[in-house]
Amino acid sequence: MRENNISRRDFIKITGTTALSMTLPALPISSAFSAPQKFLIEGVGQTSGYSVKALVKKVFDAAGGIEKFIAKKDVVGLKPNISWARSPNLAVTTHPEVMEAVASLCFSAGAAKVMFLDHTIHDARRCFAITGATAAAKNSGATLVHPTSRHFKDMNLKGSRLTVWPVFVPFKEVDKIINIPVAKVHRLSGLTLGMKNWIGAVGGRRNALHQDIHTTIVDLAQYFKPDLTLIDATRILVKNGPSGGSEADVFQANRLILSNDPVAADAKAATLFDINMDSLAFIKKAEKWGLGTTKLSTLSNKKVII
C-alpha cells in the first residue's frame, strides 16, 4: 500500500479550497477592494491643424478631469521622452505641446511643482533646447531637471534581471508620476512606448539592458508605476527608430492614448503600428506579471474626437 494516498476527506478539502480561490477574484466583493476603475481613452485629432493642447485637455476631461489624479500641493514628475537632440517634427521625442499641456493641467489642479524628468542619451542641454522641452517648461512654469551624477542613487529594483541599479532619484521623491512617452519603433523591443520609457529613469550601464530587453523593460515597469500614462502618438516614428532623423520616417497618427493601466496603454498604442503583437514580448510579460491587461475590452473605453 502506498503511503501518500489521498484520503477522501483531503480530496474534498483540496478541491474545495482550490475552487473557492479560483472563483473569488470573479466575485464582486473582490473588485471592491482592488484598484479604481481602469480606463483607456483614445483622443483623435481629425480636423487638420487641430490643437494638440486642446486634445490633451479633452482626453483628461474624458478620464474625469486632471483633479481626479492630481491633488493640491502635489509635486508631479512628468516623464517625457526627450532622449535625443532632435526637433519635434522628427517624431523621436515627446511633442513639446503635449508636455506643456500636461504640465499646465497639473498646475491647474493645484500642483505645487511639476518637473520634466528624463535621463537623456544625447547631451541633456542640447536635448532640452532642440526637442522643445525648454519652451514647454518655460511656457508652463514646469522645471527641467538636468540629470547629473548627484541625481542617481543605487536602489533595489527587485526585478528578475535588474536588482541594484542607479535610479534617477527625483522619481522616488515626487507625489505623482505621469508617463508621457512618444510612440516609435525600436529595432530590438519592437516598439518604444510607455513601459520602455523607464529606461530614461535609470542611470548606470543602460547599454547593457539590450541583452535582455523585454525582461528589463518589465523589471523597470514594475518598479516605476506611473499614476497615468499618456502616449503621444500625434505623430509616430515608423522607420529608423528609435533615433529617426528624417521626416520620411514619420507618420501622422493624430492620436493620444491615456490610461491608468500602463500595459493597456502600450497595447493600444501598438495597434497604430504595422507590427505583430506577438513580437512585443514585453507587453505579454508585463501582463503575466500582473502589471496590467491587454484585454482592452475589459477596460472602460472612451474615444474623444476633435
Partner 1 sequence: MRRFRQVIQILSLCFFLYLVSHTKLPHDLYIDYTAVLNAEESIHLEQPVTFYFMINPLVMVSSLLSAGIWISGFLWAVAVIILTLFLGRIFCGFICPFGAVHTIVSEIQPKKHKPLKPSAYQVKYSLLIMILLASCIGLNIAGFIDPISFLFRSLALSVFPAVGTGFREIFEWLSASDIKWLNWSSLVLEESFFAPVFGYNFNAFYGGWFIGMLFLFIALLNRVKPRFFCTVLCPLGALLGICSRFSMLKILVDQSKCTSCKKCASICPGSARLSDSPYEISNNAECLRCFNCMETCPTDAISVAFNIPKNTKGPDIGRRVVLSGLTAGITFPLLGRLDGIVHKVSPPELIRPPGALPEKQFLELCIRCGLCMKVCPTNAINPTLSEAGIAGFWTPRLVMIQGYCEYTCTLCTEVCPTGAIQKLTSQEKTSQPVRIGSAYVDRGRCLPWSGNGPCIVCEEHCPVSPKAIHMKEMAGDKNIQLPYVDLNACVGCGICENKCPVRGKPAIRVICAGESRSVRNRIML
- Name the packing angle between helices 281-288 and 262-270 (round to 10°): 150
Kindly tell me which of 132 and 292 has the beta carbon lying closer to partner 1: 132
Instruction: Indicate the angle between helix axes 133-140 and 124-131, nearest 10 degrees.
Output: 70
Compare residues 84 and 224 and give the one whose CB is closer to partner 1: 84
Site for partner 1 (CB under 8 A): which residue of 203, 244, 262, 292?
244
Nearest Cα residue to 79 out of 171, 189, 205: 171
Q: Which one of 246, 252, 271, 300 is in contact with partner 1 (CB under 8 A)?
A: 246
Closer residue to partner 1 in complex, CB, 69/128: 128
The footprint of partner 1 on this chain (CB under 8 A) covers a number of residues equal to 41
One of 208, 274, 276, 297 touching partner 1 (CB under 8 A): 208
Taking CB under 8 A as the criterion, the residue among 20, 112, 188, 277 binding partner 1 is 188
The nearest distance, CB 197 to partner 1, in angstroms, is 14
Binding mask 211-230 for partner 1 (x = CB under 8 A): xxx-----------------
Element (H, E) at 306: none
- Minimum distance, C-beta of residue 187 to partner 1, in the bound complex (Å): 5
* Separation CA 98–CA 117 (nearest Å): 15
Rg (CA), the chain: 21
Tell the smallest beta-carbon distance from residue 93 to partner 1 (Å).
12
The yes or no reply on residue 160 touching partner 1 (CB under 8 A) is: no
Please say whether the beta carbons of 88 and 184 come within 8 A: no
Sequence-distant (≥ 6) Cβ neighbours of residue 241 within 8 angstroms: 92, 184, 185, 186, 187, 192, 249
Compute how many other C-beta atoms are within 10 angstroms of the C-beta atom of residue 53.
Answer: 16
Please report the sign of the dihedral spanned by the C-alpha atoms of residue 66, residue 68, residue 72, residue 78: negative
Least distance CB 49 / partner 1 (angstroms): 17
Instruction: List C-alpha distances in Å: 196 to 7, 81, 100, 218.
Output: 51, 10, 22, 8
Using CB under 8 A as the binding rule, whether residue 72 contacts partner 1 is answered as no
CB of 36 to partner 1, least distance (A): 35
Q: Quick one: 239 or 295, whose CB is closer to partner 1? A: 239
Stretches 49-57, 173-181, 186-194, 217-225: which one binds partner 1 (CB under 8 A)? 186-194
Question: What is the rounded CA–CA span in Å between residue 106 and residue 36?
Answer: 20
Contact between 27 and partner 1 per CB under 8 A:
no
Q: How far apart are the first and last CA of the chain?
A: 75
Binding site for partner 1 (CB under 8 A): 85-87, 89, 121-123, 125-126, 128-130, 132, 134-135, 137-138, 144, 146, 148-150, 186-188, 205, 207-208, 210-213, 239-240, 242-246, 248-249
